Amino acid sequence: MGDVSAGHGGRPWWESGVIYQIYPRSFQDSDGDGIGDLEGIRRRLDHVVELGVDAIWLSPIFPSPMADFGYDVADYCGVEAMFGDLAAFDALLADAHARGLKVLLDFVPNHSSTQHPWFVESRSSRDNPKRDWYIWRDPAPDGGPPNNWTSDMGGSAWELDPATGQYYMHAFLKEQADLNWRNPEVRAAMMDVLRFWFDRGVDGFRIDVLWHCVKAEGLPDNPPNPDYRAGMGEKLKVLQQHSTDQPEVHDIANAFRTLADRYGERLLVGEIVLPLDRLVTYYGTPDSPGVHLPFNFHLLDAPWNAAALARIIGDYEAALPPGGWPNWVLGSHDFPRVAGKLGEAQARVAAMLLLTLRGTPTIYQGDELGIGRVAIPPERVRDPQDLRQPGLGLGRDAARTPMPWDGGPQAGFSTGEPWLPLNADWATRNVATQAADPHSMLSLHRRLLALRRSHAALSRGDFVLLPSAPDVLQYERRCGDERLLVALNLASEARPLQLPGDPARFEPLLSTHGRKAFDGALAPDEGLILMQEAR
């Protein structure tokens, strides 16, 4: 398996690499329709290169009716017209590669759009050859849905098709029908999709809701969730015991992996939202490897205090299988903005955490600017999850607002009206303004990424949690003789810095506060990286 590269100390690029998630609708519009596109991304590659990341992951770019903004794919081997065409994709890929950037696409195998020709055929009659490509069942005896499964977007996971008198299953919107991964033809067709893009030169995939792909035989009812309360999203009514995370999914992950490895050094990142003990099973086994990186979302809902973070990091490190490479995420197009949750001061600390933990980090576009809460007026809500279950705070639009590039009209994002509003402070919180300010969030990210690149201890070194003062999370990264100490003050008051040795032997490399000297204490909300002199 061609899984190594001479350029990265014999290790694959993605172990020391950093991934940057681009939400194509909201990165850069090049044709004035208010929606971002591939040519826009190509024109903004400078930003990504100057930031200092190694790979971009593009949320879905495929033809789609956009019921779930591209996660409802109508053709797995094409490009959505509002984003461009295959030629625009090839141009973006070539430019990215020329700049040393890898490109990951978003593979959505669990479900397709109901407008995908496969589903159109499947629904056309009960005996259509593609009927079994999706999950069709007769109504329950009372005419209702075949079982109690709920959709993640609210309501039943079943939709009745009056023409054929059966229900089809959809874990998400009714416009997103779940494929039947127990059917070998589905599997073969999807492997062809991966081949199509690998042959075009893509460097890997983020795999949407991988843990959903197989359902339990017989589709038994899910157990009720004893913790469900009114006001929670309806997906929480039942525990997804039989509708997700089935043993057979690992065989599929292994098939993806085997194919990816045949192409050389390609990366598969699986989206898996599960407790740690289940998450790590998606690394697979030595005989049957799974995805390279099962996405680790455990920082996203972490209580923001030093003790809780230390526990999460420790538990995750301990749960990893031998050889399993860690990864960390702080934001995405599905979760509230990190700076909105923590405020800017702690968002700076969080950035230092993300970029100094052991493992591959993924940065979500706009988090490098510290975009915080964005109010979406009711008439501008676009997220189907919010529209279907209003008032529950499930909206994802606020994390999907357009990138603010400069102080010009529409923040340089578009010459037209953006599909979602900009962050209210875009006139000052934008790339151009922050690039000119050495103390900005963007400058902090650039410094952190440069430091990570120049210190092997940060990119691939061992991780050791250290004792610390209360409210301080402190750890060391070690590689050979190099030892870097990271101390993060989670409190908004000063805290003592307890160094494991003579303070004179520690040289400050980077402070979130921009100070060059340190005095034995951490300022309120300060993160600090120090280099320990070799003995």
Dist CA 248 CA 171 (whole Å): 18
72 near 113, Cβ under 8 Å? yes
d(CA 506, CA 530) in angstroms, rounded, equals: 6
Build a one-symbol-per-residue string for 60-99: x at contacts with ligand NOJ by CB under 6 A, - elsewhere: --------x--x----------------------------
Q: How many CA atoms lie within 13 A of 179 on its CB side?
A: 25
Check if the beta carbon of residue 37 is closer than 8 Å to that of residue 30.
yes
x-marked contacts with ligand NOJ along 230-269 as a string, rule CB under 6 A: ----------------------------------------
| Rounded Cα–Cα distance for residues 487 and 484 (Å) | 10
- Listing DSSP states for 400-454 in one string gives SPPPP-SSSGGGGS-SS--SSPPPTTTTTSSHHHHHT-TTSHHHHHHHHHHHHHH
Q: Which is nearer to ligand NOJ, 235 or 292 (CB)?
A: 235
Which residues, numbered 34-63, are part of the site for ligand NOJ (CB under 6 A)? Answer: none
Using the minimum distance from each CB to ligand NOJ, give the nearer residue, 176 or 474.
Answer: 176
> Which residue of the set 178, 208, 245, 265 is catalytic?
208
Answer for the pair 507, 491: CB distance below 8 angstroms, yes or no. Answer: no
* Residue with smaller CB distance to ligand NOJ, 132 or 334: 334
Give the position of tokens 């030629």: 87
- Tell me the closest approach of the beta carbon of residue 409 to ligand NOJ, in angstroms: 29
Supply the minimum distance, in Å, between the C-beta of residue 196 and ligand NOJ: 20
Nearer to ligand NOJ, 37 or 68 (CB): 68
Q: Which of 15, 178, 271, 476 is catalytic?
A: 271
Asked if 400 contacts 26 with a C-beta cutoff of 8 angstroms, the reply is yes
Q: Which is nearer to ligand NOJ, 80 or 526 (CB)?
A: 80
Name the minimum Å distance from CB 522 to ligand NOJ. 36
Which one of residues 66, 209, 253, 369 is an interface residue with ligand NOJ (CB under 6 A)?
A: 209
Give the residue among 363, 213, 332, 211 at the shortest CA–CA distance from 279: 211
DSSP 33: S
- Which of 172, 197, 198, 211 is the binder for ligand NOJ (CB under 6 A)? 172
Contact of 500 with 466, CB cutoff 8 Å: yes
Residue 516 token pair? 């060059």
Catalytic site residue 208? Answer: yes
Which 135-164 positions form the footprint of ligand NOJ (CB under 6 A)? Answer: none
CB contact set of 304 (below 8 Å; sequence gap of 6+): 341, 342, 346, 490
* Closest distance of CB 147 from ligand NOJ, Å: 20
DSSP 225: -
Which residues of 226-369 form beta strands (DSSP E)?
Answer: 267-270, 293-294, 327-329, 360-364
> Closest CB to ligand NOJ among 209 and 531?
209
**Number of residues this chain uses to bind ligand NOJ (CB under 6 A):** 9
Distance of closest approach, residue 112 Cβ to ligand NOJ, in angstroms: 10
Closest separation between CB of residue 334 and ligand NOJ, Å?
5
Enumerate residues 328-367 that contact ligand NOJ by CB under 6 A.
333-334
Give the whole-angstrom CA distance, residue 231 versus residue 393.
9
CB of 338 to ligand NOJ, least distance (A): 16
For the question of residue 271 being annotated catalytic, the response is: yes
Q: How many CB atoms lie within 10 A of CB 453?
A: 16
Among 132, 18, 27, 133, smallest CA distance to 84 is for: 27
- Helix or strand or coil: residue 123? helix
Exposure pattern of 512-524 as b/e (b: 16+ CB <10 Å)? bbeeeebeeebbe
Q: What is the DSSP letter of 188?
A: H
Least distance (Å) from ligand NOJ to the CB of residue 350? Answer: 20
By the rule CB under 6 A, 178 interacts with ligand NOJ:
no
Distances (CA, A) of 24 to 21, 41, 86: 9, 7, 15
Nearer to ligand NOJ, 45 or 232 (CB): 232
The closest residue (CB) to ligand NOJ is 71
Give the x/- contact pattern for ligand NOJ in 419-438, rule: CB under 6 A.
Answer: --------------------
Comparison of 194 and 444: residue with beta carbon closer to ligand NOJ: 194
Q: What are phi and psi of 170, to 5 degrees?
A: -145, 115
CB of 102 to ligand NOJ, least distance (A): 20
Q: From the list 80, 208, 234, 476, which residue makes contact with ligand NOJ (rule: CB under 6 A)?
A: 208
Q: Is 329 or 374 the residue whose CB approaches ligand NOJ more closely?
A: 329
Q: Which residue, 123, 122, 111, is CA-closest to 161?
A: 123
Interface mask toward ligand NOJ for 96-135; x: CB under 6 A: ------------x---------------------------
How far is 168 from 31, CA to CA, in rounded Å?
38
Catalytic (active-site) positions: 208, 271
- List interacting residues with ligand NOJ (CB under 6 A): 68, 71, 108, 172, 208-209, 271, 333-334
